[in-house]
Structure 1
Amino acid sequence: PPPPKPNGKPQPGVKPEPAAVAKQQQTKFPPAPSPSTTTPAKSAQAPPAPFTFSTPSPDDAVLAAQRGEASGAAARPAPSTSTPQPQRIHLPQSKSVMGKATPQPEASTSKAAAAAATPGTPATGVTAGMGGLSLGTPAAPAVPSTEAASAAMAGRKRVSDYVMEPDLARACEEAAAAEAGGGAKPGLHLVVLGHVDAGKSTLMGRLLADLGVVSQRDVQRSAKEAAAVGKASFAWAFLLDERPEERARGVTVDVATTRFTTPRYNVTLLDAPGHRDFVPNMIGGAAQADAALLLVDGSPGGFEAGFEGGGQTCEHAQLARSLGVEQVAVVVSKLDLADHSRERYEGIKATLGPYLRSTCGFKDSQLQWLPAVGPAGQNLTGPPSEPGLSWWKGGPCLVQAIDNFSPRERLISKPLRLVVAEVSRGGGGARTGGGGGSGSVSVSGKVEAGAVKVGGKVVVVPGGEVATVKSIEVDGQSVSLARAGSSAELVVSGLSEAVAGGLG
């Protein structure tokens, strides 16, 4: 072989000698000791004894303590027929938790554990570190008992046991006698529904003008304001849509409330918005209604836009029926844009009628159908004068259709139920200044059942707080009593800030 390098290392390519390789491997990987060279101490060590399962494991001890059973090395006794009492394991308290665990005798109370410990001996190990803790039956969550719930409801009357107070019943009898003697008309809450741009506000504005509810001065002022903003065709609608955002957008945003009189009823009119963005407001109006006018756009393509593809004609009809409205008069408007076509009217009736009966659940006897033209006032308060509508001769006009509705039963003998539609804070009784005072809340809506008088107590839900009625208005007049079927405004006091704020 070639000689090594000057530093003593072999040159590349030189094969090491076999003896040197074997010595190097032996140094890196020493051979395992033979059994004969094993130390005597390890050979004498016995293998670990298998777990016999005759003693309880730590988990068994915990479960036994929770079940009230005795824990220990002895065999478990036979199950007793008596209910076992939960056993609690208390351990002495110490800051040291690093020592070896020393078994301690179990005790039933912490005082017994403290007495069993040797005085002056510091507690060590897990036994000391876990002092003060107990293993036993977990504490049940704090759930009000049946007795507590019954006690909380002890001051409330059951609805089935309700009996009207004698003074309130006497006031209701006197009011009913005064109505009968004076020939007062019953009330009717009427909501106007329909797809956006069906002409609801225009039709109702023209109806109010023809009935004399709106003066000619107001009509001229509305026409001037509509023309000033480039919406002359909205002149009749501006009589109801008075809010700036409604006039700017040309759509009804909130429910407009007004009142008028027909030969049979004192009508509270609720003009609901038709745009899909304001369906919640429409629901608030329909929830107060006894009957509904469903306006359908009779212009070419107008009915299809509201009926097909999830239009508000279908949605409003379904919502009204689900809210308890059973009587509907379907008014086909804007027929002047379809040459007052009878075929157009009959086609809409043939398409919409089955949907109202089968899908919405209206009875055929509770449905009325009629044409009308709002801007021209055709078939609103009398027979149409338009020659193109001569085919409707003998049919009812809009006022007659309203009078054909049946009055709803007044549930005066039932507990008070008033559906809150509007709330104002800190008022003193709206228009009459009715003595609400600071901290009062004014709520308005329809009295669905029962009766209430000034000075009476009412329960506000949710919240369950009792408030005192300070003043009452019915149909814009200050009164001392409101009964089922009336549209009332109550000023109440005595509510907490949380409940009063929740109403608003």
Structure 2
Amino acid sequence: MDAEPAPSKEDFPEDVTDTRSHLNVVFIGHVDAGKSTIGGQILFLSGMVDERTIQKYEREAKEKNRESWYMAYIMDTNEEERAKGKTVEVGRASFETAKTRFTILDAPGHKNYVPNMISGASQADIGVLVISARKGEFETGFERGGQTREHAQLAKTLGVAKLLVVVNKMDDPSVGWDKERFDEIEKKMTPFLKSCGYNIKKDVQFLPISGLYGTNLKERMPTSVCSWWEGPCLFEALDSVEPPQRDATGPFRYWSVRINGGLDSVTFAVLRMPIIDRYKDMGTVVMGKIEAGSVRRGDNLVVMPNKAPVKVITIFRDADEVNQAKPGENLRVRLSGLEEDDISSGFVLSSSSNAIPAVLEFDAQLQVLELLDHKAIFTAGYKAVLHIHAVVEECEIMELMQQIDPKTKKPMKKKVLFVKGGAVVVVRIQVPAPICIEKFQDLPQMGRFTLRDEGKTVAIGKVIKLRQE
């Protein structure tokens, strides 16, 4: 049977109305480091929030005896977050420079909300790791069990390739823009970030700032404030990050088609947009980031894994309605043909002719981290919670297939029955319901994952084989 013809260039539309690159920025770090306050300042300084709104937030914060939290109110919009001064959900907002359009993802820092942080980081291109310079606060976040370590480790695992480390609260009386304190934090963080897999010279940059007063955010700070800093401000550092290479056709699928009576192989476009949320508004609206391929109004697509055919009615990018969108864009897409209740987070909006695989089992290469004290052995039967793109699902290790020598990177010959923390092992994983994933080599954003157990990250991994019936 003849396959569909190869697509033309028109099948991969680009957004011609705005040629600037788009980047997702996730703010991560220990609770109370100042992530939401920095996000609020960025929105104010970039003109996304007006002075009257800021004054309103100042009054609200003062009424709650939380004067210094008013900037965080821009990002923390629900009452629970404002009452506790802690981000619970992943806050979203947008700002732009002459060169780049940014989406801010304000991830919660509290250890109880790490799964929400994973959701934010899995969509990000750049990470801004916020460190508090205040005496005692950096040490609390960086010590064993602190969220600074776990967030940095997870960010690298989840594909956040570039990291800006902002040393916040440099204006605090206990610090006073002290260069020695800044250098001390950089010296302690550098070997740890290197151990996470970051290339310090290429991928990491340290910056001193004050989120509360907006110092060194949009404009370089004057020498009268900090005489020793000669580097860029945060906006400059963000603007200098090169956008990751994205393929407008996604992971290739090869099809044999009949051309002039003979068989030939061509590639066909693949759309992959993991759905992070959905709601009802004149139809069903899904939210997500395009990880591969392109989408345009009028496309006939499919939502996986339930194989539901849908049609694209409207595409929203931030507040704008657009006709088409390309990889890396955060979208709200209004669909027809499917009810809101039939969609869950982790489902994927996909090309109908090249639907994403839905599997119950897959093989993966795992780096086992520090295990729980009372579950110090990792073996077949181990159960954990799998986080892969927008999927959160219980899983079970069905088989340990091979152990990898960490030095040579080659499989070890001996049969492996169990491993301990620090081991690299190839395993077979099973989930109770079908999930949509790709092999890491085909689409890294949908093939890297973490395993968590009792609130702790116990392994990071990449999908190497899909087991489809």
**What TM-score bracket applies, with the shorter chain setting the length?**
0.5 to 0.7
CA distance in 2, matches of 1:423, 1:164: 32
CA distance in 2, matches of 1:261, 1:347: 33
Q: Does 1:345 align with 2:345?
A: no
Q: 1:289: which partner in 2? A: 124
Q: Does 1:170 align with 2:5?
A: no
CA distance in 1, matches of 2:274, 2:291: 7
Q: 2:382: which partner in 1? A: none
Relative to its length, the structure with more helix (as a share) is 1
- Of 317, 323, 330, which residue of structure 2 is paired with 1:480? 323
The alpha-carbon distance between structure 1 residues 354 and 216, as it changes in their structure 2 partners (threshold 3 A), is: same
Deviations 1:343-386 (A, max 9, x none): 11001101111111123444531111110001122111112136
User: Aligned with 1:422: secondary structure?
Assistant: strand
The alpha-carbon distance between structure 1 residues 260 and 164, as it changes in their structure 2 partners (threshold 3 A), is: farther
CA distance in 2, matches of 1:480, 1:316: 36
- Of 197, 211, 215, which residue of structure 2 is paired with 1:374? 211
CA distance in 2, matches of 1:501, 1:301: 41
CA distance in 1, matches of 2:118, 2:77: 20
- Of 236, 242, 252, which residue of structure 2 is paired with 1:400? 236
Deviations 1:380-436 (A, max 9, x none): 1112136351110x2110101101111112211221111222211x322xxxxxxx3
- Of 109, 119, 143, which residue of structure 2 is paired with 1:308? 143
Q: Does 1:390 align with 2:390?
A: no
CA distance in 2, matches of 1:221, 1:397: 28
Q: 1:490: which partner in 2? A: 333
Q: Does 1:422 align with 2:265?
A: no
Q: 1:462: which partner in 2? A: 305
The aligned amino acid for 1:417 is R
Higher relative contact order (CA 8 A, sep 6+): 2
Q: 2:55: which partner in 1? A: 220
How many angstroms does 1:226 deviate by?
A: 0.5
Q: Is the Cα–Cα contact under 8 Å of residues 169 and 209 in structure 2 kept in the other structure?
A: yes
Q: 1:177-216 counterparts in 2 under 5 A? A: 178=16, 184-216=19-51
Deviations 1:55-101 (A, max 9, x none): xxxxxxxxxxxxxxxxxxxxxxxxxxxxxxxxxxxxxxxxxxxxxxx
The aligned amino acid for 1:402 is L
The aligned amino acid for 1:353 is T
- Of 235, 248, 261, which residue of structure 2 is paired with 1:412? 248
Q: 1:32: which partner in 2? A: none
The aligned amino acid for 1:186 is S
CA distance in 2, matches of 1:487, 1:286: 14
The aligned amino acid for 1:271 is D
Higher Cα Rg, which structure: 1
Q: Is the Cα–Cα contact under 8 Å of residues 88 and 113 in structure 2 kept in the other structure?
A: yes
How many angstroms does 1:454 deviate by?
A: 1.9
Q: How many percent identity over aligned positions?
A: 37
The alpha-carbon distance between structure 1 residues 235 and 314, as it changes in their structure 2 partners (threshold 3 A), is: same
Q: Is the Cα–Cα contact under 8 Å of residues 310 and 337 in structure 2 kept in the other structure?
A: yes
Deviations 1:205-237 (A, max 9, x none): 122212221100011000001001111110111
The aligned amino acid for 1:170 is E
The aligned amino acid for 2:214 is G
Deviations 1:140-186 (A, max 9, x none): xxxxxxxxxxxxxx99x9xxxx98644xx41645x35x35xx7x311
Q: Is the Cα–Cα contact under 8 Å of residues 447 and 483 in structure 1 kept in the other structure?
A: yes
Deviations 1:483-504 (A, max 9, x none): 1111111122323787336779
How many angstroms does 1:474 deviate by?
A: 1.4
The aligned amino acid for 1:420 is I
Deviations 1:97-150 (A, max 9, x none): xxxxxxxxxxxxxxxxxxxxxxxxxxxxxxxxxxxxxxxxxxxxxxxxxxxxxx
Q: Is the Cα–Cα contact under 8 Å of residues 288 and 446 in structure 1 kept in the other structure?
A: yes
For structure 1, the residue ranges without an aligned partner over 5 or more in a row are 1-153, 429-435
The aligned amino acid for 1:380 is L
Q: Does 1:359 align with 2:196?
A: yes
User: Aligned with 2:61: secondary structure?
Assistant: helix
Q: 2:296: which partner in 1? A: 453
Q: Is the Cα–Cα contact under 8 Å of residues 171 and 481 in structure 1 kept in the other structure?
A: no
Q: 1:36-115 counterparts in 2 under 5 A? A: none
With normalisation by structure 2, the TM-score equals: 0.66
Q: Is the Cα–Cα contact under 8 Å of residues 164 and 413 in structure 1 kept in the other structure?
A: no
CA distance in 2, matches of 1:211, 1:502: 31
CA distance in 1, matches of 2:201, 2:180: 21
Q: Does 1:270 align with 2:113?
A: no
The alpha-carbon distance between structure 1 residues 302 and 501, as it changes in their structure 2 partners (threshold 3 A), is: closer
The alpha-carbon distance between structure 1 residues 324 and 502, as it changes in their structure 2 partners (threshold 3 A), is: closer
CA distance in 1, matches of 2:161, 2:323: 31
- Of 44, 67, 72, which residue of structure 2 is paired with 1:232? 67
How many angstroms does 1:197 deviate by?
A: 0.2
Q: 1:69: which partner in 2? A: none
How many angstroms does 1:285 deviate by?
A: 1.0
For structure 2, the residue ranges without an aligned partner over 5 or more in a row are 251-269, 348-469
Relative to its length, the structure with more strand (as a share) is 2
The alpha-carbon distance between structure 1 residues 351 and 497, as it changes in their structure 2 partners (threshold 3 A), is: closer
CA distance in 2, matches of 1:490, 1:164: 26
When the two structures are aligned, how many residues end up with a matched partner? Answer: 326
How many angstroms does 1:193 deviate by?
A: 0.7
The alpha-carbon distance between structure 1 residues 427 and 341, as it changes in their structure 2 partners (threshold 3 A), is: same
The alpha-carbon distance between structure 1 residues 501 and 333, as it changes in their structure 2 partners (threshold 3 A), is: closer
